[in-house]
Amino acid sequence: MSHEEEINARERLARHWLEAEPSVQAYVFTAVSGFQDAEDVLQQVALTVARRFDENDAMRFFCTWAAWLAKSRIAYHYRKKERERLVFSEALIDQLAEVLVQQQRERAARRAALEHCLDKLPEKSRQILAIRYQEDAPMERVAEAIESTAGAVRVILFRIRNLLAECRNSELTRMTS
Amino acid sequence: MSDTLTDAERQLVDVYLDGDFPEREYASLFQRLETEPEALAYLAARTQLDVDLRRSFKRRKLQQLAVAVAAKSTSQPSMKWVRPSGSLIRTSLLKRLNAATFIVSLRIAPESPLTLTILLTPDVGPGQIYWLISGLEKPSRGNGTVFIKTGDQPKNLRFASNRPLKRAELIQWHTLAVVHDPANKRVRHYLDGALLNEKPLDDSHPLKLRQLVIGNWGFTTEPRNFVGRMDELAVFKRAFSDEEIAKF
């Protein structure tokens, strides 16, 4: 491969990966419980994709291919952990990949709708989300920050996410109608 | 939203995505996910929301950091002492250590808060560490101490130095060290190579040092971020002796 061809190939890879990464991330985050473990696995997937992207010349099914690579990294992760947390069957993992790859098409609209809904949340709710997602804080630390208990924080977060999910769905409906 | 899942089951999906794993409770949930496409679609949608939220807040954090860095050279010259709010310095080490030695050279800023984080792991639980300087000039307690906590049970896993540390003293460069030594059932604190004190270590867990955050507690309600300078932070996978610490 000439220098120019290599640069072109890398650009193609970067473009495809940017497009596919949110779906692959969602896939890994569902199959691997725990943010840090999931981050590690996602990083390994990214490395494997970069190492093996020559195998996927046409790049036409990049997201499906990346999800397939992710599946093997997830399996490896559980083997390494001596299956202590393996919960999903292979069939479920496959189904999940299919659903998440399908969702990739709506990504831009979904994220725009989410931003809109986040701006409508009360300040206190946004603060709780920020501690949880911006600082990657575990429940116990979120609880400490808002002077509550971990159990109460779980319930609060569940309700905030419900509100966001409902708001986002109606926003998406409004955008497409 | 899936009508096939109860409210409690939907909440359990969130708990799973948050990283908790009470395995017994999940068995029936996962069975439903396998057999009911609507339930699986709910899990996928919820994960997607989680990932999108994570991305949105990371983006907000980067924006805040950019603003803090941009403001640094003009309106807030004293910011050279203070790390911009929201920045996070992380490192990744070995997964588990039985024995360990932590060493750092530091000096604190005069305006630093009462509690300063040196090093911590982002999770809570046995084997997670919090290395802090706390209680600096708190009127009710006198002078501060340095302590390391290696779990979530404050009583038997919190190891504080006895020697009081003064703010005025710590604005000069000093070297702090702590040795976690399960073989000798001791945790030892050092200041500038000299032993401050040692505490018995009765209930030891392997230290989980895979992710380490340096200097950042991360919350705004009670400032605990490190304000000052650090140098030559080091973690060793064995317990140093008094002599080794003195020579370091």
- pLDDT per position as a tens digit, B175-226: 999 999 989 988 898 988 888 888 888 777 788 877 778 887 655 455 677 8
Contact B33 A133 (CB under 8 A): no
Query: pLDDT value at position B74?
Result: 35
* B133, B115 contact by CB (below 8 A): yes
Chain A interface includes B90 (CB < 8 A): no
- Chain B residues closer than 8 Å to A144 by CB: 219
Contact A137 B86 (CB under 8 A): no
* B137, B166 contact by CB (below 8 A): yes
For chain B, the average pLDDT equals 74
Q: Is the pLDDT of residue B18 over 50?
A: yes
Kindly give the residue spans of alpha helices, DSSP state H, lying in chain A.
3-31, 35-52, 62-80, 90-103, 107-120, 123-129, 139-145, 150-176
Q: Tens digit of pLDDT for each residue in A42-91? A: 888 888 888 887 776 646 678 888 888 898 888 888 777 765 555 677 77
Least confident stretch, A162-176, B32-46, B87-101: B87-101
Tokens 């339930």 sit at which residue? B39
Closest residue in chain B to residue A139, using alpha carbons only: B18
| A4 min Cα distance to partner chain B (Å) | 33
Q: Give the contacts of B1 (CB within 8 A, at least 6 positions apart).
A: A165, B10, B42
Chain A interface includes B43 (CB < 8 A): yes
pLDDT band at A158, cuts 50/70/90? Answer: very high
Of B1, B47, B61, the CB nearest to A26: B47
Quick check: helix, strand or coil at residue A150? helix
Q: Which of residues 189-218 of B touch A (CB under 8 A)?
A: 210-211, 218
Query: pLDDT value at position B78?
Result: 29
Distance in angstroms (rounded) separating the CA atoms of residues B190 and B125: 25
Q: Which tokens in the block code for residue B70?
A: 């941009």
Contact B219 A137 (CB under 8 A): yes
Q: Is the pLDDT of residue B75 over 60?
A: no
| B166 min Cα distance to partner chain A (Å) | 27
Q: Is the pLDDT of residue A149 over 80?
A: yes
Backbone angles phi and psi of B198, in degrees to 5: -135, 150
For chain A, the average pLDDT equals 82
What is the side-by-side strand order in the sheet with B174-181?
B194-200, B186-191, B174-181, B100-108, B228-236
Please state the rounded mean pLDDT for residues B119-145: 71
| B130 min Cα distance to partner chain A (Å) | 13
Q: Which amino acid is at B98?
A: N
Give the number of A-B residue pairs with CB atoms closer than 8 Å: 130
Share of chain B above pLDDT 70, in %: 69
pTM of the model: 0.53
Q: Tens digit of pLDDT for each residue in A103-125? A: 777 777 888 899 999 989 998 89
